[in-house]
Amino acid sequence: MDPLSIMLPRKRRLYAFLLFAAVWSLALSVTRYSIPEEIEVGSVIANLATDLGLDISSLGERNVKLEIIQDINKRYLDINKETGDLFILEKIDREYLCPTKTVSSCFLKMDVIIENPVRIFNVELEILDINDNAPQFRRETMHLDISESASPGERFSITNAVDMDVGKNSIETYYLSQSEHFTIDLQSGSDGTKYVDLVLKKELDREKQAIHNLILTAVDGGDPPRSGTASIVVQILDTNDNAPQFDRQVYSVDLIENASAGTLVMKLNATDKDEGSNAELTYSYTLYTSEKTQEKFSLDSNTGEIRVKGVIDFEEIKSFEMYIEAKDKGQQPLSGQCKILVFITDLNDNHPEITVKSLKRSIEENAAVGTVLAVVSVSDRDSGDNGKVDLTIHDRFNLPFLLNKSSEEYFSLLVSEPLDRERVANYDITFKVKDRGTPSLSDNETIRLEILDVNDNVPQFPESFYTIHVMENNEPGTLLSSLSAHDPDLNENQYLVYFIMEKMIANTSMSMLFSINPENGNLYALKTFDYEREREYLFHIEARDSGVPPLSSNVTVHIIILDQNDNTPQIVSPWSAKGTVIEEVIPRSFEKGSLLTKVIALDADSVQNSRITYQFLQVTDATLFSLNQYNGEVRTTRMFSSRDPRYQRLVITARDNGDPPLSATVTIKITTVEQVVTEFSETTEIPLHYDLFTDLNLYLVIGLGSVSFLLLITILVIIVLKCQKPKPTKPPSNRNSVASQRNSTIADSTLISSDAYWYSLFLAETRKGKVVVRQPLPNGAGYFVSSIPRSMALTTTSESRSSTLQYSK
């Protein structure tokens, strides 16, 4: 191989090494700056282009970059490529960047890298500390427990403050708030850290002051200085250095004799200025207290309560002496003593006595005022005022009794007011006796006096007048009501018997119509009532007790019969025998609105049950006829045509307004004929000319005879009914209804009565005139009037008819 070719690569490697060494030598030179922490963002530190000798105009082209060498997540600095200035991008906190206080200096190291050609500059930025952190204690409040027996000069460790700053900005000294018993002592560590101890400078006394509150302040050396505080709570622990004490050395107590066991004599209250077990006391008798006294009184060792244990009798012992010791529970217990004198007070301890003699346990309520019920004597074994007694009746309810003093120790119990067993059936009479001692003693005794009944109260009904509604058609034996009276007496004086006071109504006794249970006053109906015959009954019922003599009272009963829809409407016009068809012949020349017939039905019921409405049940041609549902008029709604059949059939029903409703029907067969009508020019009545030998006249004579006979029977029935039911009659009312229609041969009939029991009707038709029948209805309830206008004559094909109706219930 050619030696020259071998030398050329070696030279190239040498040149490259020299170039790298030159660049590295430049990189090893370090540029240092110093700034305080916390300076504002955007502040310029230095001009790197000038300090590093770079061309400012080429910084953008050579891609200048700044890289921080330390492992931190913040980018604190940057380079302005236009001016070459190094400026603050984010505030720098020295304590965050260099948390270790042992390092005196804090540097931020970075590399400035420039390309084309590559050059690296080392830059170090020293962060100078400022006094931006105040001293802080780890605990804001520190608690110390110190025994009150601690000696002056004793030291107690406390928690020190911490300051994140360094150098002169760290903690410089401590101060303690003003205290009579405590001070502090400062010490410095090898690293210059200040430590403080709490020192006792004066003896403690827990009984004077149990808690000491101190304030410890830490101050740094900055300018201006900063400080932090903490509270120190010193709790003084007790020692048993105080003996129990009573507020008195000698106590004097008064106690009444016969005080019950458990009575509190007094409660000792010794005090100990110590606390805890050193202040817990126990009480006990000393050896100077006699056994007799200890038998009479008990002492609670924990509470110091002295209570009565035995019987205290003034006559036995008039006073007692007790010696009490209070001892604490300290390790070396201390004690205190006192003396108690108990003086017994004599009492009025004998109760007065009551003796009841000649006692009556019961008395009749009509006993006279002044009646003696008992003799009462009183006594008291005491003497003087303690033996003087007063007797009274414990009168809370104004008792009708009084005491009458008959001698020094005897009293009589008398009736002072009239008695009433119904008001008070028995009395509990309490005698109360009381002596005049101090305090006074009393006694009482109660006797029971029963008041015997006499028959002095009349039976009383709750009401003086009873109105009872009964539906007609009731079953015989139906219970109508219970009419019970009350008698406040007792036994046989309150046993009541009920009677119906006899009264005749229409020759009928009340006992035939009604019955009453003599024991309980239940009133029953003995018959079925008919509203259409009798509507009300008025009678009296008597209640009588069983006393001697018996007392009684009565009450008025008004029975009102209520109507029931039990009567079917009866069609009286046009009348026909049951099941027969009524035939009517009319001319085909009837005009629209002409009256064909008028259906009249009557109902013996009253009010709603007698209100009748009419309607077609069947009709051959509904377009040809109309029916007024209220008055029953049947009229043509149009004229007859040649297509209409000759015969028309109408079935009309008359329905009442009862519940359930009842109805009756009538069938009318209408025959239409061609005829010549001769009308009179006036409607005044003219003499009638009859052909006495025609069949029509013969039928008319027979009809008139039948009507006369029926009228006679009707008058006889009315006379009988009037004799049985003498009631005032209502004034009659007349009402005539005459309807004159052209080409009409039908009568317009009107009935003025809703309470009639029977009716009769006679209609007669002639070719030349009319017959008017005017007949009174029973009971004077009204009149039935039937009139036939003479306005037309039938052709020879028409038939003469006469009809007779008789209806009775």
The predicted model gives 118-130 an average pLDDT of 85
Residues 346 and 314 sit within 8 Å (Cβ to Cβ): yes
What are the φ/ψ torsions at residue 542 (nearest 5 degrees)?
-110, 135
Rounded to whole angstroms, the maximal C-alpha distance in the chain is 193
| pLDDT at 582 > cutoff 90 | no
- CA–CA dist 745, 463 (Å, integer): 63
First to last CA, the chain: 169
Q: Comparing 462-471, 503-512, 549-558, 618-627, which segment has the lowest mean pLDDT?
A: 503-512
Q: What is the dihedral of CA 472, 477, 478, 483, to 10 degrees?
A: 120
Rounded to an integer, what is the distance from CA 37 to the centroid of its chain?
Answer: 75
Tell me the whole-structure pTM to 2 decimals.
0.41
Provide the CB-side half-sphere exposure for 691 (13 A, CA).
Answer: 8
Residues 541 and 462 sit within 8 Å (Cβ to Cβ): no
> Can you give the pLDDT at residue 683?
35
Residues 712 and 627 sit within 8 Å (Cβ to Cβ): no
- CA–CA dist 119, 491 (Å, integer): 139
Instruction: Give the C-alpha distances (Å, rounded to integers) separating 666 from 575, 587, 672, 746, 802.
Output: 8, 22, 19, 16, 18
> Can you give the pLDDT at residue 798?
31
Number of neighbours of residue 87 by Cβ within 10 angstroms: 15
Nearest to 796 by CA among 618, 701, 673, 649: 673
| pLDDT at 220 > cutoff 80 | yes
Residues 127 and 97 sit within 8 Å (Cβ to Cβ): yes
| pLDDT at 253 > cutoff 80 | yes
Tokens of 592: 């629209």
> Can you give the pLDDT at residue 251?
94
Instruction: Give the C-alpha distances (Å, rounded to integers) separating 321 from 288, 336, 343.
Output: 9, 17, 9
Region at 629 (left for phi over 0; alpha for psi -120 to 50; beta for the rest): alpha
> Can you give the pLDDT at residue 509?
84
Percentage of the chain exceeding pLDDT 70? 82
| pLDDT at 741 > cutoff 70 | no
Which secondary-structure segment (H or E) carries 808?
strand 802-808
Buried b (16+ CB within 10 A) or exposed e, 366-381: ebeeeeebbebbbebe
799 band by pLDDT with thresholds 50, 70 and 90: very low
- CA–CA dist 169, 134 (Å, integer): 9
- CA–CA dist 60, 48 (Å, integer): 14
Nearest to 112 by CA among 21, 29, 16, 38: 29
The DSSP secondary-structure symbol of 70 reads S
557 or 787: which carries more pLDDT confidence?
A: 557
The predicted model gives 19-35 an average pLDDT of 59
> Can you give the pLDDT at residue 681?
37
| Residue partners of 71: CB distance under 8 A and separation at least 6 | none
Tokens of 261: 């066991």
The DSSP secondary-structure symbol of 767 reads S
Instruction: Give the C-alpha distances (Å, rounded to integers) separating 235 from 158, 238, 473, 659, 775.
Output: 14, 10, 107, 103, 130
Spatial strand order of the sheet with 264-267 comes to 264-267, 305-308, 297-299
Q: Comparing 501-510, 602-611, 682-691, which segment has the lowest mean pLDDT?
A: 682-691
Q: Comparing 542-546, 667-671, 733-737, which segment has the lowest mean pLDDT?
A: 733-737
639 or 809: which carries more pLDDT confidence?
A: 639
Tokens of 669: 């067969």
> Can you give the pLDDT at residue 802?
31
Cis (ω within 30 of 0) for the bond into 587? no
SS (H, E, C) 662-692: CEEEEEEEEEEECCCCCCCCCCCCCCCCCCC
Number of neighbours of residue 143 by Cβ within 10 angstroms: 10
- Apex CA 145: angle with CA 160 and CA 278, to 5°? 175
- CA–CA dist 259, 204 (Å, integer): 50
Tokens of 756: 């009639």
560 band by pLDDT with thresholds 50, 70 and 90: very high
213 band by pLDDT with thresholds 50, 70 and 90: very high
**What's the sign of the alpha-carbon dihedral 23, 24, 29, 35?**
positive
According to the per-residue pLDDT averaged within each range, which of 63-72, 340-349, 768-777 is highest?
A: 340-349
The predicted model gives 282-299 an average pLDDT of 92
Cis (ω within 30 of 0) for the bond into 574? yes
| pLDDT at 373 > cutoff 70 | yes
Ordered DSSP codes for 494-528: T-EEEEEEP-EETTEEHHHHEEE-TTT-EEEE-S-
| Alpha-helical segments (H) within 725-790 | none
Residues 166 and 129 sit within 8 Å (Cβ to Cβ): yes
Tokens of 298: 């008990």
772 or 472: which carries more pLDDT confidence?
A: 472
Q: Comparing 431-440, 468-477, 519-528, 776-785, which segment has the lowest mean pLDDT?
A: 776-785
Burial label for 220, CB within 10 Å (0-12, 13-18, 19+), is buried
Number of neighbours of residue 704 by Cβ within 10 angstroms: 16
The predicted model gives 767-782 an average pLDDT of 35
Mean pLDDT across the chain: 78
290 band by pLDDT with thresholds 50, 70 and 90: very high
Provide the strand spans (E) within 633-757.
633-636, 647-656, 663-673, 748-751
Instruction: Look up tokens 């008919």; give the residue.
Output: 530
Burial label for 270, CB within 10 Å (0-12, 13-18, 19+), is buried
Residues 266 and 250 sit within 8 Å (Cβ to Cβ): no
> Can you give the pLDDT at residue 729?
39
Rounded to an integer, what is the distance from CA 121 to the centroid of its chain?
Answer: 91
- CA–CA dist 709, 705 (Å, integer): 6
- Apex CA 400: angle with CA 397 and CA 405, to 5°? 110
Region at 104 (left for phi over 0; alpha for psi -120 to 50; beta for the rest): alpha
> Can you give the pLDDT at residue 604?
84
745 or 385: which carries more pLDDT confidence?
A: 385
